Every structure is written in C-alpha cells, then in structure tokens.
C-alpha cells in the first residue's frame, strides 16, 4: 500500500505542473490583452504601460512563467487587483465555504441515492423502482440553474421555510446542498440499482441463499460490499461535476466560496485572482481524485497491484 501511495503521489507532479501551465497559458497566451480589457479601450498608453509593469506583464513570457511557477511553489499567487491583497489569502478565506457546500452536496446525494437505489434494486419493475427511476431521470436532466431558483420559489418565497441566499447556519445550507446534490443522487441511485440487480443474480448469492440464508441477510453479508464498489468508482468520476456544480450553485445562492469569487473576479477583470481561483479548483480536483483512488485501493486490493 505504501509503494502504491508513493507511486500515486509521484504521478501527481506532472499533472499538477500541467494544470499550472495550462492555467498560465489560458491567461497569458489567449488573444486579447488583459490590461486593455481591465482599463478599457480608451485608456491612455502610459496607464496601460504602468499597469503592465505593475503586473509584471512587460517581462519576457518565459520569465513570467518561471516566476509564476516559483510563486506557486512558495504559496504565492500574486496580488489581486481589485482587493489589493495577496490572492492566496483571499482564496484561503473563501475556500472553507466551497468545501462545506461540496461536502453537503455529496451528503445529500448519498442520503437520497441509497434509499432510492435500494428500493429500486430490491424489486426491479415494481412501483418503488419506477418512481425511483422517474426521480433519477428528472434529477439528471434538471440543470442547477433551474433547480436552484425552483427550490427558492417553493421553500423560501412561498413556504418561507428556508432563507433565500447567503451563508449562515444549517438552514442556509439546505437549499444549495439539495441543488448541488440532486444530479449526483440521481446518477448514484441508478448505478446502485444496476449494481444490486447484478449482484442478486450472481452465483455466490444463489449459493448463500441455497445454504439457508434469507435474501436480505445474504445481501447484507455478501452482496453489499460488491454492490458498493462500482458506486464508489462513480462517486470518484463525478467529483469534477460536483465541483463545477458547486461553482454555479454558489452564484445562484450568493454563497461566499471560491466559485462566486471566480465569477466576480472575471467581472472585475482581476486576472491574478481569476488565475488563482482556477488553480485552486483544479488542484482541489486533482487531490480529491487521488483521495478517491486511494480509497478505492483500500476497498479493492487488485487496484494496488496493477
């Protein structure tokens, strides 16, 4: 396990370097001058020159790239233009809100998916299956940008049960978490159903039942772990969708995380902050992927060997 862990961490380095390079390339190589965009087409050439100098954009590209990578290695992501503070400290202040939302979304997804998936997989074709899969189809299709406003209309404006926007106690977390978690819940419920149906038809389940175990006991003792392995894989594969969903959900609910920070930085043409937020999202995803892979290796020993 230790050697697998080491190998995985070493393999992370080129991906992290690639992510940093691509982020740099998007901001610095894509046509369009960020300084002109920031100051407007009518800005005086002297102002453009001084801003370019302030941001270090008048240096050769390779020098900029080297100092950018060196900065990242030291935890320095430059200074935000609109906040006039180090990018890293702004991101650090907003980061916990994004983690909270993503974790809550994941929790909602699991809490919804497990009962639905089990009910559906226990009796394929039955009433519970049809309604659970109806939910799944709707859940996969409805976009965050519609589900969010819909929940706001129902639960904040009509019923007045929950606050409309912002971050605070648990009550503020419910609607954003449901908005974020529903699509994942739908995907997981479908996966769990298929997985359970496959397990129930397997030889070892038939043997266990033939030897006198009741079906629920056999499922609990022998089937469950096997049925869950593909579900864990799907959770890992869906982490990217969860993170970018969190970004959109933050904008819908004025949730003060790095997703909303990124969008407002784009609006303010604060490129150092845009760069920092994109990097923070991508690196989070890379590390979460590593964590899911390690979890997977713990559950399934075959992964470690290959």
Partner 1 sequence: MKVGTRNPSLAVGLAIVAALIAGAAAGPFLVHTNPIAIDLANSLAGPSRAHPFGCDSLGRDVLSRVLLGARLSLSVSISVVALSLIAGSLIGGMAGLAGGKIDDVAMRIVDIVLAFPGILLAIALAAILGPGITDLVIALAAMGWTGYARIVRGEILSLREREYVIAARALGASEPRLLFRHLLPGIAGPVAVQATFGIGGIIGAEAALSFLGLGAMPPTPSWGNMLDAGRQFLLVAPHLTTAPGVAIGVSILGFNLLGDGIAQLIGYRG
Q: Which chain residues interact with partner 1 by CB under 8 A? A: 14-15, 18-19, 21-23, 26-27, 30-32, 34, 37, 137-138, 140-146, 149-150, 152-153, 157, 239-245, 247-248, 251-252, 262-263, 266-267, 274, 278, 281-282, 284-286, 289
Question: Cβ 269 to partner 1, closest distance in Å?
Answer: 9
Question: Cβ 42 to partner 1, closest distance in Å?
Answer: 17
Considering the complex, state which of residue 83 and residue 285 has its C-beta at the smaller distance from partner 1. 285
Distances from the Cα of 143 to the Cα of 156, 178, 190, 248, angstroms: 19, 12, 18, 10
Question: Cβ 139 to partner 1, closest distance in Å?
Answer: 10
The C-alpha atoms of residue 137 and residue 142 are separated, in whole angstroms, by 9
Considering the complex, state which of residue 224 and residue 230 has its C-beta at the smaller distance from partner 1. 230
Distances from the Cα of 293 to the Cα of 9, 98, 195, 288, angstroms: 11, 22, 20, 9
Considering the complex, state which of residue 137 and residue 303 has its C-beta at the smaller distance from partner 1. 137
Considering the complex, state which of residue 30 and residue 170 has its C-beta at the smaller distance from partner 1. 30
Considering the complex, state which of residue 209 and residue 234 has its C-beta at the smaller distance from partner 1. 234
Residue 79's DSSP bridge partners are: 86
Question: Cβ 241 to partner 1, closest distance in Å?
Answer: 5
Instruction: Write the burial class of residue 161 (CB in 10 Å: 0-12 exposed, 13-18 middle, 19+ buried).
Output: exposed
Residue 86's DSSP bridge partners are: 79
Considering the complex, state which of residue 55 and residue 274 has its C-beta at the smaller distance from partner 1. 274
Question: Cβ 179 to partner 1, closest distance in Å?
Answer: 12
Question: Cβ 254 to partner 1, closest distance in Å?
Answer: 11
Count of alpha carbons within 13 Å of 43, Cβ hemisphere only? 17
Considering the complex, state which of residue 109 and residue 247 has its C-beta at the smaller distance from partner 1. 247
Question: Cβ 114 to partner 1, closest distance in Å?
Answer: 23
- 3-class DSSP state for residue 79? strand
Question: Cβ 225 to partner 1, closest distance in Å?
Answer: 23
* Number of residues assigned to the chain: 306
Q: How far is CA 24 from the centre of its chain?
A: 21
Where b means 16+ CB within 10 Å and e means fewer, 212-242 reads ebeeeebbeebbeeebbeebbbbbbebbeeb
Considering the complex, state which of residue 39 and residue 213 has its C-beta at the smaller distance from partner 1. 39
DSSP 208-273: HHHTT--HHHHIIIIIHHHHHHHHHHHHHHTHHHHHHHHHHHHHHTT--SHHHHHHHHHHTT-HHH
Considering the complex, state which of residue 79 and residue 275 has its C-beta at the smaller distance from partner 1. 275
Question: Cβ 221 to partner 1, closest distance in Å?
Answer: 29
- 3-class DSSP state for residue 280? helix
Provide the sign of the torsion angle of the four alpha carbons 45, 62, 262, 247, taken in this order: positive
């Amino acid at each position: 396990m230790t050697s697998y862990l080491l190998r995985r961490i070493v393999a992370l380095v080129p991906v992290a370097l690639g992510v940093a390079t691509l982020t740099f390339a998007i901001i610095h190589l894509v046509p369009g001058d960020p300084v002109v965009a920031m100051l407007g087409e009518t800005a005086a050439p002297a102002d453009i020159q001084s801003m370019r100098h302030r941001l270090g954009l008048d240096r050769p590209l390779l020098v900029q790239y080297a100092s950018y990578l060196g900065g990242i290695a030291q935890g320095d992501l430059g200074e935000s233009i609109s906040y006039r503070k180090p990018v890293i400290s702004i991101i650090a202040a907003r980061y916990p809100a994004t983690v909270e939302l993503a974790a809550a979304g994941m929790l909602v997804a699991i809490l919804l998916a497990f009962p639905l998936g089990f009910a559906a997989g226990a009796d394929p074709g039955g009433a519970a299956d049809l309604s659970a899969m109806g939910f799944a189809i709707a859940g996969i299709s409805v976009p965050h940008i519609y589900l969010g406003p819909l929940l706001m209309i129902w639960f904040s404006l009509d019923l007045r049960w929950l606050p409309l926007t912002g971050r605070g106690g648990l009550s503020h977390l419910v609607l954003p978490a449901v908005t974020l978690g529903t699509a994942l819940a739908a995907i997981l419920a479908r996966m769990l159903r298929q997985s359970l149906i496959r397990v129930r038809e397997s030889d070892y389940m038939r043997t266990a039942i033939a030897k006198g175990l009741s079906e629920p006991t056999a499922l609990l003792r022998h089937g469950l772990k096997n049925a869950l392995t593909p579900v864990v894989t799907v959770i890992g594969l869906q982490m990217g969708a969860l993170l970018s969903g969190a970004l959109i959900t933050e904008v819908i609910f004025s949730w003060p995380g790095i997703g909303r920070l990124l969008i407002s930085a784009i609006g303010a043409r604060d490129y150092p902050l845009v760069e920092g937020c994109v990097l923070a999202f991508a690196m989070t995803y890379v590390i979460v992927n590593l964590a899911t892979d390690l979890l997977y290796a713990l559950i399934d020993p075959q992964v470690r060997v290959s």
